[in-house]
Amino acid sequence: MKWKAVCFDLDNTLYSHEKAFNQSIDYCYQHEVIPFLKKYNSAPVSFEDWFFIFKKNCDRFWGVYNEGTIDVVTYRRLRFEETMHAFGFRTNDSLADRFHQRYDDIIDTFSEPDEALLPLMQWLKHHQIKTGIISNGMPQKQYRQLKKIGLNKEMIKKEHILISEEIGFAKPEAKIFIMMADELGEKANSCLFVGDSWEQDVVGAKNAGWEALYLNTRKIPGTTAHEPIHECESLGEVFDWLIDNS
Tens digits of residue pLDDT in 96-106? 999 999 999 99
Which CATH homologous superfamily contains domain 18-109? Putative phosphatase; domain 2 (1.10.150.240)
Considering the chain, tell me which residue range(s) the CATH 3.40.50.1000 domain(s) occupy: 5-15+113-244
Residues in contact with 112: Cβ distance below 8 Å, sequence separation at least 6, in sequence order:
15, 16, 19, 20, 149
- 202-209 average pLDDT score: 98
**Residue 18 pLDDT class (50, 70, 90 cuts):** confident
Predicted local distance difference test score (pLDDT) of residue 243 = 96
Considering the chain, tell me which residue range(s) the CATH 1.10.150.240 domain(s) occupy: 18-109
What architecture is the 5-15+113-244 domain classified under in CATH? 3-Layer(aba) Sandwich (3.40)
Whether the CB-CB separation of 8 and 14 falls below 8 Å is answered with yes
Q: How far is CA 85 from CA 89, 159, 176, in A?
A: 5, 43, 38
pTM, two decimals, is 0.80
At residue 7, the 3 state secondary structure works out as strand
Half-sphere exposure of 244 (CA within 13 A, CB side): 7
